[in-house]
Amino acid sequence: MFERFRNLILILSAAFLIFLIVSNVSAAPGKESISGVSGTRTEPGRSIHYGYITADQLHSPAVMVMKEKKLLEAAGFDVKWHEYIAGSYAVQDLTSGKTDFANCGVAPIIINHSQGLELAIIAGSNQEGSSLVVADYITSIMDLDGKTIATPGLGSIQDAMITRLAMENNITIKHTTIEVSDMPDFLKKGDIDGFIAWAPHPACAAEKKLGYELLFSKDMMSNHQCCVLVTGARALRDDPDTVKKVLEVYLEAYKWFMDNREESIKMLVKATGKSETIVRAVIDTVKYSYPPYCNEESMKNIAQGYIDAGRIMMKADELDGFIESLYKPVLLESITNTKRPD
């Protein structure tokens, strides 16, 4: 009886050992990845939440390319995309932890960072690319005095430009917040005297003869930093490997956009729903550079404008340290093996 019991134990032990061996073999690196693509098996990618602005592909083309070509997914990430009508909303979700990365205007990032919400800009996206559309009865900057101009909202770079324009010309401009896609209709009805928005919306309104483009970014704030890639400062400290991997994919997409102009234009037409004529007309009003370093002097000017307007409480001699605490190009430097411009 004891002999039979011992044999049963030996059989069960052997079976269990075989089970362990088979399990380890199946879990070991092989020739087929999780996605079914030939290659080394990888661990399941972490889930990331990535935010971007509605119809803002001309300003953040790398996001468009990443999403269209599923580059982040190919790099092993499970991506949840979030679309926002303005950068201030994207930054709110970034600071609350609802999103991990976002492409949006630098202005709301500057404002939120000044309020103690730790953010980290890790790359640029574009410079310039906005314009001011006004009704035909406005023919000069001075005609804007007392007029109502729609902006995407307090904290947007467009709102910052209008604020600076009014201060420099000693005029008063009434601001009202309207969703960018609705601005042309408000202008058509006469509810506003003009609006400032990112391309291609101003050009579309001008094409429909709802108004005309009085000023471009280069006229109001030449070479200004517009959109950037931002994450949380904590993510950069605690999980730099993930941040670096996302940035590597971002740079791959950015480079593809710049190297494939005709394909990129077709992609922009599809993504924005605008005509090819419009896209070709406005793409050269947006400045792209590779590697996509940020214009630090421009960011200081934007912050200074908010200080002058009383929207940021900071001393002038704190400005350099403030921008240094926000802009972190160290990963961009290491990936591209370049140095940021002086």
Of 7-21, 24-38, 173-187, which gets the smallest average pLDDT?
A: 24-38
Compute CA distances 165 → 37, 62, 106, 134, 141, whole Å: 54, 30, 18, 14, 8
- Per-residue pLDDT reduced to its tens digit, 95-119: 999 999 999 999 999 999 999 999 9
The type of residue at 232 is: G
CA dist 285 and 200 (Å) reads: 10
Of 19-33, 132-146, 176-190, 223-237, which gets the smallest average pLDDT?
A: 19-33
Q: Which domains does the chain have, with CATH numbers?
A: 47-126+224-336 (3.40.190.10), 130-220 (3.40.190.10)
Q: 291 pLDDT exceeds 60?
A: yes
- Per-residue pLDDT reduced to its tens digit, 152-179: 987 788 998 999 999 999 999 999 999 9
pTM: 0.82
Q: Looking at residues 227-242, what average pLDDT do you find? A: 95
The type of residue at 44 is: P
pLDDT for the residue numbered 44: 55
Sign of CA dihedral 52, 56, 62, 63: positive
